Chains A and B, each alone.
Chain A
């Protein structure tokens, strides 16, 4: 690239990342193989399908649900789910009277082991700023979710290493569904609290 051409911001960042990565590789601190492995983990192995399995089990197994609400980390560990950025998890249960929603106003904290990496909107300023101040408006205007005034909206701001996530309500009309059929109704958004679980 000649100096008369102006690099795009993406080109500038890519060059800066290469600058740092080349230094780390030369010092034996990083490899491109490690990049491929990390991408594999968060593209194909760790994602919201894991949280969906946990929710479906809680919907069908009252004893498991009790353990999940008492200590989400140990309950998830029973299913082989846990780890980085979810060392200390708390599942909060939506009911007819209470709707939970999670945020990290100070950065982007999110329970990776059950939900994978957060969507960009969760990490960006608008959601972080607004959802603690006008959660009903954000849910309604941005996500099409109208929570009645009779239902308390409780926002969980993840300021510590505790990681909160939402156990959504089981949709009506799902009697007799298998855990697999139920898990298909659980979305990432329903575990953040910006949506209900899908209707069958």
Chain B
């Protein structure tokens, strides 16, 4: 979707202003929000592509101005409702309750066998690989010159606006991986070959605006590209 999350190349967003140092978690709730991600995944609410789409659906002003981990909370709330774990009314009722009773403790843990901690201990070092091998032949090779299609899907995609219609060179080929344009839209993995394409600054921004001697690489799935004309 042409959402505000698709930020590459936008102007006017101000200073980066990195602080000297900062804690991993800026507030207690951020730890809890982070833990939603692996455990809601384990519960079957989403895969990583769906999780990202949940964040892309956040209204633009809120997306740009809210603390980072609130994006995760919004996506988990959306997918929990979508998959039938709760209703918006249930969340709202409990939200009002905890807003009025902020110090009330959470319900007691129910995990007598420690299954959830065992899951974290296993999944974090092992990861959840997105690579797949269906045996499909790759249509492109390193060195090929390719153009990104200009289609602008309304659902989830990883085809950023700033590379659409642009021409670059394939510099790496990674094999098949889960395809975000199906997986993120609840339509399954449908793996496609992934390539890294390198674009010159001039191709992306025009000769007048481009910085000298620079390139950007961007990973594309095979359906995103065509042989350059």
From residue 1 to 59 of chain B, which have CB atoms closer than 8 A to chain A?
5-11, 13-19, 22, 24-29, 31-36, 38-40, 42-43, 48, 52, 55
Bound complex: CA of A11 vs CA of B100, how far in Å?
A: 10
Bound complex: CA of A38 vs CA of B41, how far in Å?
A: 14
Known contacts: A16-B95, A19-B97, A105-B160. The answer to whether A129 contacts B13 by CB under 8 A is yes
Q: Which residue of A lies closest to B9 (CB)?
A: A133
Q: Are A135 and B26 in contact (CB under 8 A)?
A: no
Q: Are A159 and B17 in contact (CB under 8 A)?
A: no
Interface residue total, chain A, C-beta cutoff 8 A: 88
**A33 on interface, CB distance cutoff 8 Å:** yes
Q: Are A120 and B130 in contact (CB under 8 A)?
A: no
From residue 109 to 152 of chain A, which have CB atoms closer than 8 A to chain B?
113, 116-117, 119-121, 123-130, 132-138, 141-143, 149-152
Q: Are B28 and A14 in contact (CB under 8 A)?
A: yes
From residue 195 to 229 of chain B, which have CB atoms closer than 8 A to chain A?
196, 198, 204-205, 209, 211-221
Known contacts: A14-B28, A15-B102. The answer to whether A157 contacts B8 by CB under 8 A is yes
Q: Are A86 and B213 in contact (CB under 8 A)?
A: no
**B170 on interface, CB distance cutoff 8 Å:** no
From residue 146 to 169 of chain A, which have CB atoms closer than 8 A to chain B?
149-162
Which residues from chain A contact B11 at a C-beta distance below 8 Å?
129-130, 133
Q: Which residue of B lies closest to A14 (CB)?
A: B29
Q: How many A-B residue pairs have CB under 8 A?
A: 293
Distance (Å) between the CB of A51 and the closest chain B CB? Answer: 15
Partner of A105, one of B8, B95, B212, B213: B8
**B91 on interface, CB distance cutoff 8 Å:** yes
Which residues from chain A contact B220 at a C-beta distance below 8 Å?
159
Q: Are A116 and B77 in contact (CB under 8 A)?
A: no
**B109 on interface, CB distance cutoff 8 Å:** yes
Which residues from chain B contact A126 at a C-beta distance below 8 Å?
13-17
Bound complex: CA of A26 vs CA of B85, how far in Å?
A: 11
Q: Are A13 and B36 in contact (CB under 8 A)?
A: no
Which residues from chain B contact A153 at a C-beta distance below 8 Å?
211, 213-215
From residue 20 to 41 of chain A, which have CB atoms closer than 8 A to chain B?
20-35, 37-39, 41
Q: Which residue of A lies closest to B123 (CB)?
A: A84
Q: Which residue of B lies closest to A39 (CB)?
A: B31
Which residues from chain B contact A142 at a C-beta distance below 8 Å?
15-18
Which residues from chain A contact B18 at a C-beta distance below 8 Å?
119, 121, 142-143, 194
A interface residues with partner B (beta carbon < 8 Å): 1, 7, 9-35, 37-39, 41-43, 46, 82-88, 90, 103, 105-108, 113, 116-117, 119-121, 123-130, 132-138, 141-143, 149-162, 194
Given contacts A155-B214, A157-B217, 11 further A-B contacts (CB under 8 A): A14-B28, A15-B95, A17-B73, A23-B90, A46-B124, A87-B128, A103-B8, A130-B11, A133-B162, A155-B217, A161-B131
